[in-house]
Structure 1
Amino acid sequence: MPTPDAPKRLVSFWPLQIGGWALYALTTAIASVPYSHTGTEVFAVVVELGTSFLASFLLYFLCRYLWRKGVPLFRALSYCVVVSYVLGVACTIVTRLMQMLWTNTTLPFDWSIALTEAIGVSLTLDGWSALYFGIKHYQTVEQQRTKLLSMEATAREAQLLALHYQLQPHFFFNTLNAISSLVVSNQPLLATEVIARLAALLRNTLSFPDTHTVTLRDELAVVDEYLTIERIRFGSRLKVSFDVSDEANDAQVPRFLLQPLIENAIRHAIALRPEGGEITISARLAEQRLQIDVANDTCELEATDSYQSHGVGLANTRARLGQLYGAHDATLMLSGENGRFMVSLRLPLITEPIVSLSMVGR
């Protein structure tokens, strides 16, 4: 049964076989120009080239058999050297016989001369064998390299998806916990509204195609659904403002990139302030990169390390950015000043959805 790569093998074999022998024939013809006046010698060269070309097919089947059997390279080349010499002797004998028939003369035939002349043909076939094994080795190395890169991309993609799916249960758990708190505090109408908003958010989330990224516009729509739920919980204590440029709206960002950052801001800052606070989300293009800032009022300026340790939000976001863009292509920085805490993201400017990690230039 033919293997799936049989067409590729045939496509690559024939151009190399015909092109290589054509080049060899051209070189031989140029070298034979000084003897062009001797028709007998020219005929002998032509016959020798033809028989060598046919002999290379016999050698091809031998080389392919040795390669498929996994015979060590040195041993396989040794076999080919012996067979090449035998084929060289056969080519020399055929050349002599054809030369005798073509000239209608009786030329002396000496075995010692035939065995000596066979060395030239044998060396040509030896070179053909070495080239065959060299090409096969190169193809094997390239196949292994491609397979390794594919496996690495698959592993990175699986890790990225694991991080992505880790975020969603975290978000859903916190939302369900908020609904539970509303029920316990005897606020059934608000709980019902939150459930309706959560259903709308789920529909919005699940309607996205199976890609790693979405436009910032779509990501902000999901964020707005989430903030609508949180506004029901916090009322006037939660204020949100957006400052997003039109160009930034069309840029691609990882799905669920902003929600964990905003959740951190609400949980570890706004919720702890009796008067609440404001969250500001801004985005713009700068130096062919996407700059996103999420800033919030805080009850006190905690250390950056303290914020980094809060749940899976920041750590998971960093891990996702590293998997998706590479260790140095995307950055997440934290800063605090004048009662405000800010998370700053700088991402590569990408306008097409990333379906697979192989699409990301590295």
Structure 2
Amino acid sequence: MNWNSLIEDRNRFFWILHTAGWLGFAFIHFLGSLLHDLRDIFVIIIFLNAYAGWLLTIPLRYVYRKAWNLTPGKIVIVIIVCSYVVGVLWRVVANINYWEIYKHGFRPDFWLMYTQNSIWFFYIILSWSVLYFGIKYYQMLQKEKQNVLQANTVAHQAQLKMLRYQLNPHFLFNTLNAISTLIMVKDNKTANGMVTKLSEFLRYTLDKDPMKKVNLATEFKALQLYLDIEKVRFEERLQVNFVLDDDCKEALVPSMILQPIVENAIKYAIAVQEDGGTIDIHCKHFGNDLLLEVADNGPGAEIKNGNLHRENGVGLANTRERLQALYGENFALVVSNNRPQGVKVNMRMPYEVSEES
């Protein structure tokens, strides 16, 4: 049996635990009855009482689902009230079973006698409720742990892909060739500056943990290093405009989240045009979200369902994987046509600021 798949299927896991728990209750009750030398018919009473407990606690699951997002204090109140009500009902059913079957139709003088000794049944239902919430919280913590592990795995894979994407021979060849050309024409100052920028950029990409977020101002500085290197190749053909709102400078983003998108724009919008082009990078804070936009005025591309259709394109796929690993479903990455021409990539993620800021 695949235990992981069993646990991940919460609905099936609930029914298995629920049924096994009440069967265990019936078995323990049966063992206890052996000490009292009761008639064999008492086994039927035990089974009926366990079945009643199994049946009456099912509605609690749906009540507790509704109460899951309440404050802890309100959850405690809901648990106590519901456990007491179900405990009393269960006690009534148990007394009816005992008196009608074991006592051959016994009738108490006062109807409240049906609820006698309800406190013990209340404790059992309360234990069921505590176990329900305990298991549910445990599953939630395991899910969060799994998400963190998955985020680490995907992020490190994304980092390797990112480095392979960034540090490919083509990029290094063009950079080193540009430096060599500068040295040949004895423009040593520019060559030295380019080597320095390349060194700083490589150090940044290697030092930054992909799971640790950086503020947007730092990310823009790293992106500027990369663009400065590319500007040596394209000179005036590459124009970049940064628009960074003041309240976005300390916003936290995954490290190197913009570089693959900008590199896509350079590769498919700037390099293919004789006159080059312009890349606009915008950042805004809207409500609880951070909005990032990278737009170019290149020849455009085929876009279907918010995705680019390009051969060997991995930058956007890597970015989407990282965002999903870090933010779950609380993110968006949409590719659309820019106006009047080009491609526009919009990202939305939660607005977070470092506590030290």
Distance 2:26 2:141 in 1: 26
1:313, distance to aligned residue in structure 2 (A): 0.9
| 1:137-176 map, 5 Å | 137-138=131-132, 139=134, 142-173=137-168, 174-176=170-172
- In structure 1, list runs of 5 or more residues that go unmatched: 1-66, 87-122, 354-362
| Paired AA for residue 323 in structure 1 | A
1:312 aligns with 2:314: yes
Taking every aligned residue pair, what percent have the same amino acid on both sides? Answer: 24
Cα contact 1:308–1:315 (8 A) shared by 2: no
Alpha-carbon spacing, 1:204–1:85, altered in 2? closer, same or farther (3 Å): farther
1:349 aligns with 2:351: yes
1:218, distance to aligned residue in structure 2 (A): 1.0
- Please name the residue that 1:301 is paired with: 300
Give secondary structure in 1 for the equivalent of 2:322.
helix
- Please name the residue that 2:197 is paired with: 197
- Please name the residue that 1:244 is paired with: 244
- The TM-score with structure 1 as length reference comes to 0.57
Give secondary structure in 2 for the equivalent of 1:332.
strand
- The TM-score with structure 2 as length reference comes to 0.58
Give secondary structure in 1 for the equivalent of 2:261.
helix
Aligned CA-pair RMSD: 3.8
Spell out, residue by residue over 1:232-286, the C-alpha distance to the aligned partner (whole angstroms, 9 max, x if none).
2212221212111111212112211110111011111101111212212121223
1:287, distance to aligned residue in structure 2 (A): 3.4
| Paired AA for residue 331 in structure 2 | D
1:191, distance to aligned residue in structure 2 (A): 6.8
Cα contact 2:301–2:309 (8 A) shared by 1: no
Cα contact 2:212–2:254 (8 A) shared by 1: yes
Distance 1:184 1:307 in 2: 35
1:76 aligns with 2:47: no
Spell out, residue by residue over 1:153-196, the C-alpha distance to the aligned partner (whole angstroms, 9 max, x if none).
32244223322332122112253232354478796667765443
1:216 aligns with 2:168: no
Cα contact 1:279–1:297 (8 A) shared by 2: yes
Spell out, residue by residue over 1:24-60, the C-alpha distance to the aligned partner (whole angstroms, 9 max, x if none).
xxxxxxxxxxxxxxxxxxxxxxxxxxxxxxxxxxxxx
1:340, distance to aligned residue in structure 2 (A): 3.5
1:322, distance to aligned residue in structure 2 (A): 2.3
1:130, distance to aligned residue in structure 2 (A): 4.7
Alpha-carbon spacing, 1:307–1:83, altered in 2? closer, same or farther (3 Å): same
Distance 1:263 1:318 in 2: 15
1:308, distance to aligned residue in structure 2 (A): 4.2
Number of residue equivalences: 250
Alpha-carbon spacing, 1:266–1:288, altered in 2? closer, same or farther (3 Å): same
> Which stretch has the larger CA shift, 252-261 or 156-165?
156-165
Alpha-carbon spacing, 1:292–1:151, altered in 2? closer, same or farther (3 Å): closer
Cα contact 1:295–1:340 (8 A) shared by 2: yes
| 1:14-33 map, 5 Å | none
1:136, distance to aligned residue in structure 2 (A): 8.3
Q: Which has the larger radius of gyration?
A: 1
> Which stretch has the larger CA shift, 230-239 or 143-152?
143-152
Alpha-carbon spacing, 1:81–1:318, altered in 2? closer, same or farther (3 Å): same
Give secondary structure in 1 for the equivalent of 2:167.
helix
Give secondary structure in 2 for the equivalent of 1:337.
coil
Cα contact 1:80–1:129 (8 A) shared by 2: no
Cα contact 1:237–1:275 (8 A) shared by 2: yes
Distance 1:276 1:208 in 2: 31
Spell out, residue by residue over 1:78-104, the C-alpha distance to the aligned partner (whole angstroms, 9 max, x if none).
334446999xxxxxxxxxxxxxxxxxx
1:210, distance to aligned residue in structure 2 (A): 6.5
1:335, distance to aligned residue in structure 2 (A): 1.9
Give secondary structure in 2 for the equivalent of 1:269.
helix
| Paired AA for residue 175 in structure 2 | I
2:333 corresponds, among 320, 324, 331, to: 331
